[in-house]
Amino acid sequence: MIGCNIGNQSNRLVNLSHLLLSKIINYLNANVDRIVFSLVCKRWFNDRQRYLSFNTHRVNITNDKYMQLNSYKSIIIDQINIKTKCKVSIGDEFKLKYYDYLISKDELVDIDRLRTLNIDKVAIGFARLSNEKNKEYIKNLYRLISDLNISKLKNVQSCSALPMNITSLSFLLFQEDLEPGCLPPNLKTLKFDRNFDRPIKAGVLPNTLVKLNFNESFNQLLEPGVLPSSLKILKFKDSAFKQDIKVGTFTDHLEELEFSGYFSSSIEDGALPQTLRILEYAPTSWLPQIKTLSNLKTLSISRFRPYSPDLIIDLSCLPTSLSRLEIFADITLINAIPPKIRYLDVEKCDFDFDSIFKDRSLYQFDYLRLSPNQITTLDGLKIKELELIMKTSGSDTNNRLDIPFGIETLSVPFTSTFLHEMDLPSSVKKLIISTEIYCIDTPEKQYDLTGGGPIQELVIICNELLYSRGISAQIPSIIFPPNTLIELTELRNEKIWIRMIDNQYYLVYCQSPIIAAIVHKSQLYKYIVYCIKPYIFRKTNQTSFFVKCLFLDTSFGNKYKMTLIKSISMIGGNSLESVSNSLINASNGQSSSDSNNQEQCFGFGRRRTTNIIFGDLNVFGGGSSGFGCGGCGCGCGGFGSF
């Protein structure tokens, strides 16, 4: 952090121009980092309106009740209001989180108001279009889309009278036959839903189409000429497709092909175009065709029905152009890995380690995923990130594994039975642990997590499925290192950042819904409870949800007791709603003076576990004794100036 002295105002960094500060801000992707940046000194904070901007791509304010940072609220709201590509949901409140605006069906006639929203994408939230009233709503919606030149439309149930200006279209519950001319002529992206299984004739798909997705049910023959020559991305996602693939089925300009289905399809020689750069979930039966693809960079291989036992892959037959290889099947590998591969996942495979890595000096991996039992020694391999996979606790630990120097990120499950079997080199800066999150105190007992040691970032991955099976929901007390990032990730991949900005206060930030506050460490527990309420009690009659919430009890000094609870309908004999209400009315807590409100808080989404990220404010290499403690020398007076 910039030096804390009374002559700070002449510091070159302090007096950087607003234009330069603005350019620096644009290199910070996370909004929490942008807020922290503005807290470096008094001038940067006072002048924030002149240079500070926020990344609003995934940010929306549907309720600014939890935006407690009044010093930043107007900046964020103003930038959201001038977003040029806003997403709108029509009539479906449960999708509100993913969109910038929710519009009722009756509002569709107010074109003048909707024109001010800068709408780029519309999702239809109606039920089935079987009644005349919904058909009238659709007519109004399509008129709106044409008048406002909206380009993206989602959850369409019929091809009838589609606006001609649409360039991105996705279907829902769609079961109509496709006829030439029924699709918009300038369509670039088309996604069929899981119910679609109708034949497609030549001339139906526009010759402007770039991306096409099929889903589970689709199993129709694609004759040569059906797919337009403009197509670059084709995906069969979890598809039942098992039709023969002929020369000409795929276009000569196809660059990306995903085939994540259940069955293998026979393929003619030469049917895979030489332009392919990415081929995902390819059947093993395609391997003879794959070896001729000289431009292929990314390849993932799966085993499809019918299964072939004792399958062997000769690695020397893979394209030498590959830089990423993933094999998701129990296949035997022979010969050496192509040396250009930088991303490798062969955890499910059987092989002789020394045979596939004959000359270890040739390999330099950005990412390597293996099972410990596959490894003899990692010496000689250059690896940035290593992920070790074990199927059960205590398995795959027959031999002590030495982690070589040079690995910067290490990911391991089952910390209680595995971490003690290895020594971490000083090059490991980031440690990722999963599965046994109730044992996260294990690395603390073995390694220096105070910030003085090499480990600077700790990621904790919660597995919702495992918790639902009754694994202990108790997370022990740990000391948060001052320069450590702790992330609890789950299905929705939501994030709540809690940044330590001095010894007493935390910056709390969440993007969707937008939540921002500066809170005293003694209040974190209360803020969590307070903010859970609006996201789980959407239906007042529904009193029990399968939700896991993280409670932080900060009454242990510099330790924080975190408890993950599975059912939050009752706490101490009282409903969570009544507990939340009592906290809302409390007025004896400490809070920053950025807002006069006592309740600065953040919330969790319903039916999902939320990520919580803890990190230390450490801008330009400084410590936590600067802005916010009243001792920075720039006259900020701590958080009193907020």
Q: Look at residue 569 in the predicted model and tell me its pLDDT.
A: 28
Instruction: Identify which of 468, 472, 510, 473 has the alpha carbon closest to the alpha carbon of residue 493.
Output: 510
What is the per-residue DSSP string for 117-159?
A: T-EEEEEE----TTSHHHHHHHHHHHHHHHHHT--EEEEE---
Evaluate if residue 633 carries a pLDDT over 50.
no
Higher pLDDT pick, 483 / 332: 332
Arithmetic mean of pLDDT, 192-201: 90
pLDDT tens for 453-508 read 677 777 766 554 444 333 333 344 444 443 444 444 443 456 667 777 777 787 87
Q: Look at residue 510 in the predicted model and tell me its pLDDT.
A: 77
Evaluate if residue 407 carries a pLDDT over 70.
yes
Higher pLDDT pick, 624 / 450: 450
Q: Look at residue 9 in the predicted model and tell me its pLDDT.
A: 66
Q: Report the largest interatomic distance among the alpha carbons of the chain, rounded to a whole angstrom.
A: 77
Residue 387: pLDDT band (50, 70, 90) is very high
Q: CA angle, corner 64, sides to 58 and 65, nearest 5?
A: 135
In the block, residue with structure tokens 């139906």 = 204
pLDDT tens for 124-158 read 876 555 567 777 788 888 888 888 889 999 988 88
pLDDT tens for 6-29 read 456 667 778 888 899 999 999 998
**What percent of the chain clears pLDDT 70, i.e. is strictly above it?**
63
Arithmetic mean of pLDDT, 537-552: 32
Specify whether the CB–CB gap between 366 and 340 falls below 8 A: no
- The token pair that represents 93 in the structure block: 């409140």
Evaluate if residue 307 carries a pLDDT over 70.
no
Tell me the Cα Rg of the chain.
28
Specify whether the CB–CB gap between 166 and 156 falls below 8 A: no
Q: Look at residue 527 in the predicted model and tell me its pLDDT.
A: 67
Q: Look at residue 438 in the predicted model and tell me its pLDDT.
A: 56
Distance CA 560, CA 579 (A): 21
Mean per-residue pLDDT over the chain, rounded: 72
Phi, psi of 317 (to 5 degrees): -90, 0
Lowest mean pLDDT among 42-51, 53-62, 111-120: 53-62
pLDDT tens for 84-98 read 788 888 875 555 556
Q: Look at residue 625 in the predicted model and tell me its pLDDT.
A: 31
Arithmetic mean of pLDDT, 176-190: 93
Adjacent-strand bridge partners of 156: 171
Helix (H, G, I), strand (E, B) or coil at 601: coil
Evaluate if residue 219 carries a pLDDT over 70.
yes
Q: Look at residue 474 in the predicted model and tell me its pLDDT.
A: 38
Helix (H, G, I), strand (E, B) or coil at 212: strand
Give me the residue spans of the domains in the chain: 8-55+501-641, 189-343, 366-489
Arithmetic mean of pLDDT, 519-545: 52
Residue 305: pLDDT band (50, 70, 90) is low
Instruction: Identify which of 574, 576, 572, 578 has the alpha carbon closest to the alpha carbon of residue 604.
Output: 576
**What percent of the chain clears pLDDT 90, i.e. is strictly above it?**
27
Arithmetic mean of pLDDT, 207-234: 93
Instruction: Identify which of 315, 299, 311 has the alpha carbon closest to the alpha carbon of residue 357.
Output: 315
Specify whether the CB–CB gap between 73 and 67 falls below 8 A: yes
Pick the CATH number of 189-343 from 3.40.50.2000, 1.10.240.10, 3.80.10.10, 3.90.380.10: 3.80.10.10
Q: CA angle, corner 535, sides to 534 and 539, nearest 5?
A: 80
Evaluate if residue 232 carries a pLDDT over 90.
yes
Q: Look at residue 571 in the predicted model and tell me its pLDDT.
A: 30
Residue 623: pLDDT band (50, 70, 90) is very low
Q: Would you state the torsion angle of the CA atoms of residues 219, 223, 224, 228, taken in this order, to the nearest 10 degrees?
A: -60
pLDDT tens for 347-386 read 999 999 999 998 999 999 999 999 888 888 888 999 999 9
Instruction: Say how many C-beta atoms besides its own lie within 10 A of residue 20's C-beta.
Output: 10
Lowest mean pLDDT among 288-297, 531-540, 567-576, 585-594: 567-576
pLDDT tens for 577-618 read 333 333 333 323 333 334 333 222 222 222 333 333 333 332
Q: For 178, which DSSP code?
A: P
Residue 299: pLDDT band (50, 70, 90) is very high
